[in-house]
Structure 1
Amino acid sequence: MLSTMSTPGRSVETLSDAAVRLMEAAADAFAAKGFHATTTRDIASHAGLSPAGVYVHFASKEDLLFQLSREGHEAARDMLVAAASAAGSPTEALRSIMAVFSQWHAEHFRVARIVQYEFQNLTAEHREAVLGLRKEIDSVVRDVLTAGVASGEFTVTDVPDTALALLSMAVDVARWYDPEIKRTPEAIGRTYGELGLRLVT
């Protein structure tokens, strides 16, 4: 799971094998039991390590949650930056951003749910770091919207609120997505790419 969160500019493969296994185990446990009901022993056992082995790589259970959240947000940010940079116009950029962001939230729905629903369990310092990454993600979308308004491609009266609405649409995919449904993440991405454009044209 975490290895597929890599982007061209970064990769969780730079982490040690044990650290990645612990993050995978934490994601499984948090998704199944919630943050508070999960113990470090649960995580270590699932990763095939002793409880003490967790603290070799992470300061605490909360630190594991933070690392998962940071990895997820950094992967999403880098993916959106790449999508916007590769596009030839604001229209192409927005379609691509909405498609890849929605698809990502389907493909990584477990991590996305943890990031959204367990956010309040981060320390104040870690919440601030994650909020900084969220602002960077928001900035990518705002810049595309601003460029689209300037070029006459988009009709948007409130760029910040429209960016929030677009991102919220994509993020919400993680809430309802289930691998058993007939729609694939790719199909969801294509649909949301077009829906995003309808919101601004």
Structure 2
Amino acid sequence: MPANGTGQRLLDSATEAFAAKGFHGTTTRDIATAAGVTPGAVYVHHRSKEELLYSISRVGHERTLELVRTGAASSSDPVQQISTMVRDFVEWQAANRTKSSVVNFELAALTEEHRADVLEIRRSVDAEFRAVVDRGRQQGLFHIEDTGLAVLALLSLCVDVARWYRGDGRQSAAGIGEHHSRMALRMLGAEPPSS
């Protein structure tokens, strides 16, 4: 990600534009105008509009992986791990809903190489969840039939927040994170962790 002010403004304006209009509905002129620069400045900092999307998507996925790994490392108890992983993932998705919607729902616009790179990070997120859910099943803490389907449901629960959360309702991002954390444990047939 560019370290300078103009590069960051371009990333921020691209995020807003992609969220509002979609990748294909956004022009480099839209991005430049919102960043307060000329359209040519986009190409000084990024090779293409797609590279902007890739930067946004990669950083967002790396942040998700970091949150999930931190949650998994927070305890040796699978129930507590899932509780923390889901809570933090959902809270980040809600608090960063504009970026999250771009990160999660514009992947088809990436080049094959860039999409493969981002999907590799997604597979790492999936693997972190699978490891914890498998351990919880083996310990008799999670009562599910299929780890893969359970993890798919958990990830959908987390990612989909970006579709509907607006931040102006009765729940904060932290409140939604706590709610979804409890819901995730119920989905797994687990007792909530003791406080």
2:102 is matched with 114
Matches within 5 A, 1:52-201: 52-201=40-189
Matches within 5 A, 1:23-38: 23-38=11-26
Report the more deviating stretch, 31-40 or 125-134: 31-40
1:9 is matched with none
% identical equivalent positions: 39
Q: CA deviation at 1:146?
A: 1.2
1:3 is matched with none
Q: C-alpha distance in 1, partners of 2:10/2:50?
A: 13
Matches within 5 A, 1:39-58: 39-58=27-46
Q: Deviations over 1:33-77 (max 9, x none)?
A: 221221112211211222222112211001101111111100000
User: Structure 2 vs 1, CA of residues 27 and 84 (structure 1 numbering), >3 Å: closer, same or farther?
Assistant: same
* Normalised TM-score (structure 1): 0.89
Q: C-alpha distance in 1, partners of 2:104/2:8?
A: 21
Structure 1 segments unaligned to the other structure (5+ residues) = 1-11
Letter in 2 for 1:79: L
Letter in 2 for 1:109: R
Q: C-alpha distance in 1, partners of 2:147/2:36?
A: 48
Q: C-alpha distance in 2, partners of 1:85/1:140?
A: 10
Letter in 2 for 1:48: G
Q: C-alpha distance in 1, partners of 2:139/2:19?
A: 43
Count of paired positions: 189
Q: CA deviation at 1:103?
A: 1.0
Q: C-alpha distance in 2, partners of 1:145/1:38?
A: 40
RMSD between aligned alpha carbons?
1.4
* Normalised TM-score (structure 2): 0.92
2:8 is matched with 20
Q: CA deviation at 1:176?
A: 0.9
Q: CA deviation at 1:132?
A: 0.7
Letter in 2 for 1:181: G
Letter in 2 for 1:134: R
Secondary structure of the 1:183 match is coil
Structure 2 segments unaligned to the other structure (5+ residues) = 190-195
Secondary structure of the 1:74 match is helix
